[in-house]
Amino acid sequence: MEITVIGTGYVGLVTSLCLSECGHKVTALDIDKKKIKLLKQSISTIYEPLLDNLLGKNLLNKSIIFTSSFKQACRNNIIFLCIDTPGKVNGAPDTRNLYNAVRLIAANASKNTLVITKSTVPLGENKRILSKLNAMKTRKDIVFDVCANPEFLREGSAVSDFNNPDRIICGLEEEKIKKLMLEIYFPIESNKKKFIFMSFESAELTKYASNSYLATKISFINEMSELSENCGASIDEVKSGMSMDPRIGKDFLNAGLGFGGSCFPKDINALIHAEDRFRIKSSLLKETLKRNAIQLKNFEKKIITYYKKDLSKKHLSILGLSFKPNTDDIRESISIKLINRLSPRVRLLNVFDPAAMRQAEIALNAHKNINFCDTINAALSGSDGLILCTEWDEFRVIDASNLVNMKEKVIFDGRNILQKFKTLDSSVKYFGMGL
């Protein structure tokens, strides 16, 4: 099939390359000409495992082309919308870029076109997209259809998530669209078991509800971790006890510094905004966000209390800057938030991350006491304390030999991955989350 993907951000690039990898001829469009230039040269604009290979291979066999021309992109009759919808100050998603693309599709479409919304859009928005397409189309003979097809890709494993979906949600109003959706996804889901067809609104809410539920699960276990610390329980033991119940499960029950990233905080705020719009009185999602903020405050307090409130001569090391492992994304990163709070109080912060150094240097540019290190050992050299914020695999294997050049051997483990130091070495002081 000949398919267009509009937007080559995180979701768009993964979607376009995975679709071309599974045999479709893809045209990927972005209005950012610099991005298109890089992609044409086979230079990936995001850090995501497996993506570089897909880009090189599919460019070479000409199953993907990159363009900034809507005229060219609208020659295909299937168009995926992968435009970001960042949160506004009031929590509502900003759909201006999305509607700009909708307007240009309406102006450039040359045949009947199915527009598939992958972007996370406010409740009711797919209906609006359909009516805007029809209201703004220049050729009145053209028929537009819309399918709400939210993405469930996790950064760091997006390619494998695309190829092995838990579910393919299709919100639609016309029966005929089902056939096209089955055809598009046939190479990855030929037995049709993962498809769920529903209304536009159900598809939109499924996306928000999934992310908000997962975030709430994290906040719940984090609240239990504070209780664990106070009553002498271990959150790890509590987690293993809880997760033996299949109704609860073990996923997304890792206590720690809380959730970050571009999706969870934004989507919860959007859902809170939607509840307000429908005059629904509820505090559940607000509490999810509050608990997430409390985790960071408690962690910071733990560090400050340990040094008896005076960190002015301290030289601390922060390991992990991305919002989670296997990505260079620092949006809403808890680590960056912690650095912003600690930097004014300490003498020096040595920081290290396996992938996010360049992004962090830009974001932390205003702080003059941050030393960007090349290795774990360089970050720990001469340090008065190790603060672990992101659970990269590289950090899980830290052992006593990495700590030899620390001035004071103390570990504040925001992700509970260095628990071996609790018992391994009595010269190391270890503080975890809820342990």
Judged by CB under 6 A, does residue 236 bind ligand UGA? no
Judged by CB under 6 A, does residue 260 bind ligand UGA? yes
Nearest approach in angstroms of CB 295 to ligand UGA is 9
Judged by CB under 6 A, does residue 352 bind ligand UGA? no
Distance CA 169, CA 145 (A): 16
Judged by CB under 6 A, does residue 429 bind ligand UGA? no
Question: Which of residues 125, 151, 204, 236 is near ligand UGA by CB under 6 A?
Answer: 151
Identify which of residues 59 and 387 has a Cβ nearer to ligand UGA in the complex. Answer: 387
- Cβ of 113: how many Cβ atoms within 10 Å? 22
Judged by CB under 6 A, does residue 259 bind ligand UGA? yes
Q: 263 an active-site residue?
A: yes
Q: Are 219 and 256 in contact (CB under 8 A)?
A: no
Question: Which of residues 26, 153, 338, 435 is near ligand UGA by CB under 6 A?
Answer: 153
Q: Which of 147, 170, 263, 373 is catalytic?
A: 263
Judged by CB under 6 A, does residue 154 bind ligand UGA? yes
Helix axes 264-277, 200-231, angle to 10 degrees: 120
Identify which of residues 91 and 258 has a Cβ nearer to ligand UGA in the complex. Answer: 258
Judged by CB under 6 A, does residue 122 bind ligand UGA? no
Token pair of 417 as six digits: 């991955």
Identify which of residues 151 and 413 has a Cβ nearer to ligand UGA in the complex. Answer: 151
Judged by CB under 6 A, does residue 254 bind ligand UGA? yes
Site for ligand UGA in 175-234 (CB under 6 A): 211, 214, 218
Judged by CB under 6 A, does residue 76 bind ligand UGA? no
Question: By rule CB under 6 A, what count of residues binds ligand UGA?
Answer: 20
Distance CA 98, CA 104 (A): 10
Distance CA 326, CA 51 (A): 13
Place of tokens 């608990």: 291
Site for ligand UGA in 305-334 (CB under 6 A): 323-324
Token pair of 12 as six digits: 């768009």
Among the candidate windows 145-153, 275-283, 375-383, 397-405, which touches ligand UGA by CB under 6 A? 145-153
Identify which of residues 152 and 195 has a Cβ nearer to ligand UGA in the complex. Answer: 152
Question: Which of residues 99, 152, 220, 372 is near ligand UGA by CB under 6 A?
Answer: 152
Nearest approach in angstroms of CB 141 to ligand UGA is 37
Nearest approach in angstroms of CB 327 to ligand UGA is 7
Judged by CB under 6 A, does residue 264 bind ligand UGA? yes
Q: Where does this chain bind ligand UGA (CB under 6 A)? A: 151-155, 211, 214, 218, 252-254, 256, 258-261, 263-264, 323-324
- Catalytic residues, by residue number, are 263
